[in-house]
Amino acid sequence: MSDDNKNVSRREFTALAGISLAIAGSATLSSTQGCSTTPSDENTVEQVADAAAEKTPDTNQIELVKEAKTEPNPTEPVTDTKSEPAPEPNPPEEPSVADEPQTIPDEPTQESGPEPEIVYEAPQIDIGGRKFVLVDVNKYPDLQTIGSYEQISLPDDLVFLFRRNKTTFEAISATCTHKGCSVGWRPDKNGFVCPCHVATFNYRGVVTGGPAPSDLPIYATAFDQSANKVYIFL
């Protein structure tokens, strides 16, 4: 407590005590014959006043205590009462390659053709503006048998030369009329098959299936039986 506050409290208490003593003294005045208060009585009054002043609470200290209770403790952690945002949902997983729909080709699947065959080149001959190639049957073993064939390379095409009978030969183009791929002979089908888009033709080159728009071209031929040679006209 401050000295000023102690002095004020002491004076107030001294005044109250003096009033009380005055009242008590007036009651005993007749018996004391006008005796005044002794110094010891005054000291007693001051001691009582000091003790009361010590016990009297200081209003300034009360206000400080109130303020201290309302202020937050800086050492205590401050808790944020705001709610945290909810976690965002995970994005959907991308579909794997196995889940994607498979595209179906518009055209038929390719088919492997027969094994490569020996191709013979026949020289081109031009007589009086008539162009042809001359095939010597004696040089081609497979042409000795009826029903057999050989592949002959022309200047601008590849043909299958079949021996249909003893005196008849037929030259059928190997170029497919769909996309220009080279067809192959399939003995198991008795016809031709294009390995690119599975167009099929019979043994005479006529279309039997697939995307080919027309038959295989056929070249005119002539057989010189005496010379055992075949003319393929271009």
Q: Which domain does 162 fall in, by range?
A: 124-233
How much is the pLDDT for 58? Answer: 55
Category of 129 on φ-ψ map: left (φ > 0), alpha (ψ -120 to 50) or beta = left
Give the C-alpha separation, 215 to 191, whole Å: 12
Between 161 and 2, the higher pLDDT residue: 161
Q: Please, which residues have CB within 8 angstroms of residue 207's CB and are 6 or more apart in sequence?
A: 177, 199, 200, 201, 213, 214, 215
Residue 140 lies in a domain: yes
Between 15 and 221, the higher pLDDT residue: 221
Phi, psi of 28 (to 5 degrees): -110, 15
CATH of the domain at 196: 2.102.10.10
How much is the pLDDT for 186? Answer: 94
Residue 133 has pLDDT above 60, yes or no: yes
Give the C-alpha separation, 119 to 192, whole Å: 17
Residue 76 lies in a domain: no
Residue 71 lies in a domain: no
Assigned token pair, 189:
């089908």
As a whole number of angstroms, the longest Cα–Cα distance in the chain is: 194
Assigned token pair, 102:
């498979």
Residue 152 lies in a domain: yes
Residue 9 lies in a domain: no
The chain-wide mean pLDDT, for the chain, equals 72
Across 19-23, 61-65, 80-84, 150-154, the highest mean pLDDT is recorded for 150-154
Between 49 and 230, the higher pLDDT residue: 230
Between 146 and 55, the higher pLDDT residue: 146
Give me the number of domains the chain comprises.
1
| pLDDT tens column, 89-102 | 565 565 554 444 45
Between 31 and 213, the higher pLDDT residue: 213
Q: Please, which residues have CB within 8 angstroms of residue 189's CB and are 6 or more apart in sequence?
A: 200
